[in-house]
Structure 1
Amino acid sequence: MENTKAGLLETLDTRDIGRFYIYLAILATIGGFLFGFDSANIGSALVFLPFKLTPLAIGIIVAGASLGSFVGALAAGPLTDKFGRKSLLLVDSGLFAVGSLISAFAFEPVTLTIGRLIIGIAIGADSAIATAYISEFAPKRRRGSLAIIQQWMITIGILAAYVIAVIVLWIAPGAAKSVDWRILLGIGFIPAIISLLMRARMPESPRWLLERGKEEKAIQAFQTLGIEATPEQVHAEMNEVRTETLRLQGKTRWTRPVKRALIVVSVFFVLQQITGINVAFYYGPHLLTPYFAHGGSSAIQSEISGVIAAGILAVINVIATYFAFRFIDTLGRRKLAIGAYTGMAVFLVVGAYGASFLHGVPQLIVVMVGFALFISCFAIGIGGTGWLLQGEVFPTSVRGRASGIGAAVDWLANYGLVLAFPLMQAGFGLGWTMIVFAVLCVVGILFVYFFLPETKGHSVEEIVRLFDGPVNRKDPSQPSRPAQSSMSR
Structure 2
Amino acid sequence: MSNPYPVQPSIEKMKEDAARQKNNSGTQEKRELAGEGDYQDKHLDNVAHNPNALLENPLQGISHERLEAMGRAFAREKGLGEYEEEFAKGAQVAQDPLAFESLTMLNDEDRNVLRREITHKWHQPWQLYFLTICCSMAAAVQGMDESVTNGANLFWAPQFGLNTAEGAPNASTNEWYLGLVNGAPYLACAVLGCWLTAPLNTWLGRRGTIFLTATISALTCIWSACTNSTWHLFAARFVLGLGIGPKSATVPVYAAETAPPIIRGALVMQWQVWTAFGIMLGTVASLAFYKVPDPTSAAITGLNWRLMLGSAALPAFFVMAQVYFCPESPRWLIGRGRYGDAYKSLCRLRHTKLQAARDLFLINALLEEEANIATGKSAIVELFTVARNRRGALGAGIVMFMQQCCGINVIAYYSSTIFRQAGFDEITALGATLGFGALNFVMAAPAVWTIDTFGRRFLLLLTFPLMAIFLLMTGMAFFIPEGNARIAVVALGIYLHCMAYSPGEGPVPFVYSAEAFPLYVRDVGMSFATATTWVFNFIVALTFPRLLSAFTRQGAFGWYAGWNVVGTFLVLFFVPETKGLSLEELDQVFSVPTKIHAAYHLKGLGYNFRKYILRQRLPPRKPLYSWEDTTYARD
Structure 1, 272-281 or 282-291: larger mean CA deviation = 282-291
2:193 to 72, 76, 80: 72
Residue 325 of structure 2: SS of its match in structure 1? coil
**Does residue 167 of the first structure (1) align with residue 316 of the second (2)?**
no
Q: How far apart are 1:306 and its partner, in Å?
A: 1.2
| Aligned residue number for residue 257 of structure 2 | 136
Pairs within 5 Å for 1:15-54: 15=117, 16-17=121-122, 18=124, 19-49=126-156, 50-53=159-162, 54=174
- Secondary structure of the residue aligned to 1:141 is helix
State the secondary structure of the residue aligned to 1:359. coil
CA 1:290–1:478 in structure 2 vs 1: closer, same or farther (change >3 Å)?
same
SS at match of 2:161: coil
Distance 2:332 2:403 in 1: 29
Counterparts of residues 348-387 of structure 1 (less than 5 Å): 348-387=471-510
How do 1:6-405 and structure 2 match up within 5 A? Answer: 6-7=90-91, 15=117, 16-17=121-122, 18=124, 19-49=126-156, 50-53=159-162, 54-70=174-190, 71-170=192-291, 172=293, 178-226=302-350, 229=353, 240=365, 243-250=368-375, 254=383, 255-292=386-423, 302-405=425-528
- Distance in 2 separating the partners of 1:188 and 1:235: 38
Task: Give the Å deviation of 1:200.
Answer: 1.8
> How much has 1:208 moved relative to structure 2?
1.1
Deviation at 1:42, TM superposition (A): 0.3
Aligned residue identity for 2:446: F
Alignment partners' CA distance in 1, 2:183 and 2:554: 22
Q: Is the 8 A contact 1:456 1:477 kept in 2?
A: no
CA distance in 1, matches of 2:359, 2:259: 18
How far apart are residue 275 of structure 1 and its match? 2.1
Q: Deviations over 1:278-303 (max 9, x none)?
A: 0111111122123345xxxxxxxx22
Aligned partner of residue 318 in structure 1, secondary structure = helix
| Counterpart residue type for residue 413 of structure 2 | Y
Which of 532, 535, 543 pairs up with 1:412?
535
Relative distance call for 1:335 and 1:475 in structure 2 (3 A) is farther
Q: Give the AA of the match of 2:340.
A: E
Q: Does the 8 A contact of 2:371 with 2:520 survive in 1? A: no
Using the TM superposition, give the Cα deviation of residue 467 of structure 1 relative to its aligned residue in structure 2, in angstroms: 2.1
Is the CA contact 2:94–2:362 (under 8 Å) kept in the aligned structure 1?
Answer: no
Q: Name the CA distance, whole Å, in 1 between partners of 2:461 and 2:302.
A: 46
Preserved contact between residue 422 and residue 478 of structure 2 (Cα < 8 Å): no
In structure 1, C-alpha distance between the alignment counterparts of 2:428 and 2:622, rounded to whole Å: 49
Whole-Å separation in 2 of the counterparts to 1:459 and 1:235: 12
Paired AA for residue 401 in structure 1: V
Report deviation, 1:164. 2.1
Instruction: Give the partner amino acid of 1:272.
Output: Q
Deviation at 1:171, TM superposition (A): 5.5
Q: 1:226: Cα distance to partner?
A: 3.6
Q: For the structure 1 residues 387 and 242, does the alpha-carbon distance in structure 2 shift closer, same or farther, using more than 3 Å as the test?
A: closer
Greater shift, 171-180 or 270-279, is seen at 171-180
Q: Is the 8 A contact 1:211 1:238 kept in 2?
A: no
Moved more, 366-375 or 459-468: 459-468
Range with greater deviation from structure 2 (113-122 or 375-384):
113-122
Q: 2:625 is aligned with what amino acid?
A: Q
**SS where residue 258 of structure 2 aligns?**
coil
Deviations 1:37-94 (A, max 9, x none): 1222001100111111200110011001111222211211343245421111111110
TM-score (normalizing by structure 2): 0.69
Q: Is the 8 A contact 1:453 1:477 kept in 2?
A: no
Tell whether the 8 Å contact from 1:210 to 1:237 is kept in structure 2 after alignment.
Answer: no
Could you tell me which amino acid in structure 2 is paired with residue 314 of structure 1?
G
Unmatched tracts of structure 2, length 5 or more: 1-85, 98-113, 163-173, 602-620, 630-635
Distance 1:236-1:6 versus aligned 2 partners, 3 A rule: closer
Task: Provide the rounded CA distance (Å) in 1 between the counterparts of 2:440 and 2:388.
Answer: 34
Deviation of the 1:146 alpha carbon:
0.6
Deviation, structure 1 residue 250: 2.6
TM-score, with length taken from structure 1: 0.89
Aligned residues of 1:8 and 1:234 also touching (Cα < 8 A)? no
Is the alpha carbon distance of 1:270 and 1:289 closer, same or farther for their aligned partners in structure 2, counting shifts above 3 Å? same
Q: Closer, same or farther in 2 for the Cα pair 1:383/1:245, shift >3 Å?
A: same
Aligned partners of 1:218 and 1:234 also within 8 Å? no
Distance 1:343 1:368 in 2: 16
Matches of 2:261 and 2:358 in 1, distance apart? 21
Cα contact 2:294–2:303 (8 A) shared by 1: no
Deviation sequence 1:5-32 (CA, Å, 0-9, x none): 2249959x98444243233123124332
Shift in Å at residue 477 of structure 1?
A: 6.9
Q: Evaluate the alpha carbon distance shift between residue 44 and residue 173 of structure 1 in structure 2; reply closer, same or farther with a 3 A threshold.
A: farther
The residue matched to 1:142 in structure 2 has which SS? helix
- Structure 1 contact 394–402 (Cα < 8 Å) conserved: yes
Aligned residue identity for 1:225? L
> Kindly tell me: are residues 229 and 209 of structure 1, through their superposed partners in 2, closer, same or farther at Cα, counting changes over 3 Å?
farther
User: Shift in Å at residue 232 of structure 1?
Assistant: 9.4
Relative distance call for 1:480 and 1:200 in structure 2 (3 A) is: closer
